[in-house]
Amino acid sequence: LIKEQLVSSITLGIALRYVLEALRRPPSLGLTTSSSGKMFRFGMFALEQFKERLHEWPQYCSHIVQIPHLKEGYAELVNEIEIAMAESQNRGAAPGNPSTGPGNPTPTPSDNASTASAGDDSRASGTSNISSNILSNGTRGVSPSASSEIPRSVMAQVPETRVAQFGPNLGRAVNSTVEAEVQHESPPDAVLDRVQFLINNVSPSNVEQKSSELRDMLEPRFFDWLGHYLVVKRISAQPNFHGLYLAFLDHLGEYGKGLIESILSSVYLNVGKLLRSPKITTSTSERSLLKNLGSWLGQITLARNRPILQIMLDCKELLFQGYENGRLIAVTPFVAKILEGAKASVVFR
């Protein structure tokens, strides 16, 4: 994706930072396969893919060449990166550049970005800003001189983070204008406590017994409350128990059909809230909740040969708009989890 320039802006900065963090992990020794060694191999493989673009981010290169185990065991790679840095500096010091001369120091990458934005090309400024973002988020093991390459005047010009918004045509789940929290009729406190106790004690060995107890305990008019409770407190936070909750719903039979619809409505509502959240690209907890809801949505729809209607959620358009507004980091895992449900489907696989 980085090599073919399919990601940019915030998403590109995050991707480059992950590669840098992976390279900082110690490599495996001998035949051991530690988690840090796997991360290092991922970083090396990823770096090989977009190595020809490294000259665009000289400050990023400076971080890489200062990693101790790369200097020791991968001297050839470090040499190639240093050559890329030299090429970038030579381009900045080319004849005709008013900022270079006998009495002026060679401009830093950030200086080049600020001058290029005046009339050169927008890509130069974009890539330099990404380097600045990486510096501000990961200066571990970097010498003070490397961090001080960005002038304060340039840092002061960095714009505030723009919150990208989804456009129309994504379905009611995302484009719903309902902002107020939906109020559900809850059962009396005594019944509420019994239902929550029952859900807490459901297990594979007693799922049929507990579903029978729920039928005798809760009236269907409280399904909206129970559906909301299950989605918010259980389904979104406990992906390992999705199979158990599905079995519980199956044992409810005809009685539980209304509950399934209530759960589905609550899933769409909470998916929309998470996708519209301004923190969805930065908060791992919110993305984890979204991914869990995607997994459940796939299991309760596609896996049961039930389509996800475009009027409710247009996954294809969601991917397009996620790419355009820099939210693929949240959208892609969500859609992938939905599609996993197709593996168990006769119709959609």
Give the Cα separation of 64 and 76 in Å (integer).
13
Query: Which runs of consecutive H residues, i.e. helices, occur in the chain?
Result: 9-24, 35-49, 58-65, 68-73, 75-92, 109-116, 122-137, 144-147, 152-156, 172-175, 189-200, 207-217, 223-229, 242-251, 257-276, 284-300, 315-324, 328-340
Q: In which residue are the tokens 């001369």 written?
A: 101
Q: Which of helix, strand or coil describes residue 101? A: strand
33: phi then psi, degrees, rounded to nearest 5: -130, 65
Closest to 178 measured CA to CA, from 293, 103, 266: 266
Average pLDDT, the chain: 77
Architecture of domain 9-156: Alpha Horseshoe (1.25)
Residue type, 148: S
246-284 residues labelled b (16+ CB within 10 A) or e (exposed)? bebbebbeeebebbbebbbbbbbbbbbbbbebeebbeee
Give the Cα separation of 88 and 59 in Å (integer).
10
Give the Cα separation of 26 and 321 in Å (integer).
37
Give the Cα separation of 250 and 244 in Å (integer).
10
As a CATH number, domain 172-344 is 1.25.40.180
In the chain, what are the domain boundaries? Answer: 9-156, 172-344
Give the Cα separation of 150 and 153 in Å (integer).
8
- Give me the tens of pLDDT residue by residue for the chain, a chain 349 residues long: 888 788 777 888 888 888 888 888 887 654 445 566 788 888 888 888 888 888 888 888 888 888 888 888 888 888 888 887 887 777 655 544 444 333 333 334 334 433 333 444 444 444 444 444 443 444 344 333 333 343 443 334 434 444 445 555 567 777 665 544 567 888 999 999 999 999 999 999 999 999 999 999 999 999 999 999 999 999 999 999 999 999 999 999 999 999 999 999 999 999 999 998 889 999 999 999 999 999 999 999 999 999 999 888 989 889 988 888 888 999 999 999 999 999 989 988 7
Q: Report the percent of the chain where pLDDT is more than 70.
A: 72
CA distances from 252 to 220, 247, 265 (A): 12, 9, 18
Give the Cα separation of 328 and 33 in Å (integer).
30
104: phi then psi, degrees, rounded to nearest 5: -115, 140
Give the Cα separation of 335 and 271 in Å (integer).
11
Q: Are 109 and 57 in contact (CB under 8 A)?
A: yes
Q: In which residue are the tokens 């304060």 written?
A: 152
Give the Cα separation of 33 and 43 in Å (integer).
15
200 burial type by CB count under 10 A (0-12 exposed, 13-18 middle, 19+ buried): exposed
The predicted model scores a pTM of: 0.53
Q: In which residue are the tokens 């510096």 written?
A: 135
Q: Are 24 and 340 in contact (CB under 8 A)?
A: no
